[in-house]
Amino acid sequence: MGRKIETEECFAPSRHLPITPSFIFILLLATGFGAGFSPIVPGTLGTLLAIPLYYFISSISAPLYEVTLVAFFFFSSWISNQAERYWGKKDDRRIVIDEIMGFLVTMLWVPMSIPSVIGGFILFRFFDILKPFPIRHLERVKSGFGVVLDDVLAGIYSNIILHFILRFWSWN
């Protein structure tokens, strides 16, 4: 049976870095307010966390949604980079802000509906786990960009297939 992880260990850096309130906030964002600390399926939990966020931003106009995605891409890349530096590990499994970004890309230009969200969730998790070419290669990109880019491409693949499904099978 696994060892119980103490709260201090979750935030413990790999190097001697100070645990400041601002860094705790950065790590909370990186981990999806703690979803990334789950011992099982932290990426799936991070994606689930993206659903209510998508619900709230799905009603904004297309140009504003796109600008929001671009801003969130740079923000999540920076947050991921900070978390990687803190934990001293490339694409640490506790970082799930990238799954949030990937799901928001999956849902780009998709009408808000329960079937769309379920379909987008399943497709995104499929591509994020399977990582078909060239998704896995994007993980090699340096800094937080590599953490986020593979999820963005998984989101693009998912988005294309979801649009195809919605167009030809009329879920909505």
Spatial CB neighbours of 22, under 8 Å, sequence gap ≥ 6: none
Question: In terms of pLDDT, which residue wins out, 71 or 140?
Answer: 71
Label residue 21 by pLDDT band (50, 70, 90).
confident
Residue 33: CA count within 13 A, CB half-sphere: 6
157, 136 Cβ separation under 8 angstroms: no
Residue 102 lies in a domain: yes
Exposure on the CB side of residue 153, measured as CA atoms within 13 A: 16
Please count the structural domains in the chain.
Answer: 1
Kindly report, residue by residue over 107-138, the tens digit of the pLDDT.
999 999 999 999 999 999 999 999 888 877 67
Q: Are 139 and 60 in contact (CB under 8 A)?
A: no
C-alpha to C-alpha distance for 49 and 46, rounded to whole angstroms = 5
pLDDT digits (tens, 9 = 90+) for 148-169: 999 999 999 999 999 999 988 7
**Cα–Cα distance measured from residue 169 to residue 162, given in angstroms and rounded to the nearest whole number:** 10
| Alpha-carbon gap, residue 25 to 28, rounded angstroms | 5
Domain extent for 48 = 7-169
* CB 37, CB 31: distance < 8 Å: yes
Looking at the domain assignment, is residue 123 inside a domain?
A: yes
Tokens found for residue 41: 């399926």
The confidence score (pLDDT) of residue 105 equals: 98
Q: How far is CA 49 from the centre of its chain?
A: 9
Inside any domain, residue 2: no
Residue 1 lies in a domain: no
Would you say residue 87 lies in a domain?
A: yes
- Quick check: pTM over 0.95? no
Tell whether the model's pLDDT for residue 33 goes beyond 90: yes
Residue 23 has pLDDT above 90, yes or no: no
- Report the alpha-carbon distance of residue 60 to residue 55 in Å, rounded: 10
pLDDT (tens digit per residue) in 46-65: 999 999 999 999 999 989 99
Residue 100 has pLDDT above 50, yes or no: yes
Is it the case that residue 75 has pLDDT exceeding 70? Answer: yes
**HSE-up (13 A, CA, CB side) for residue 167:** 7
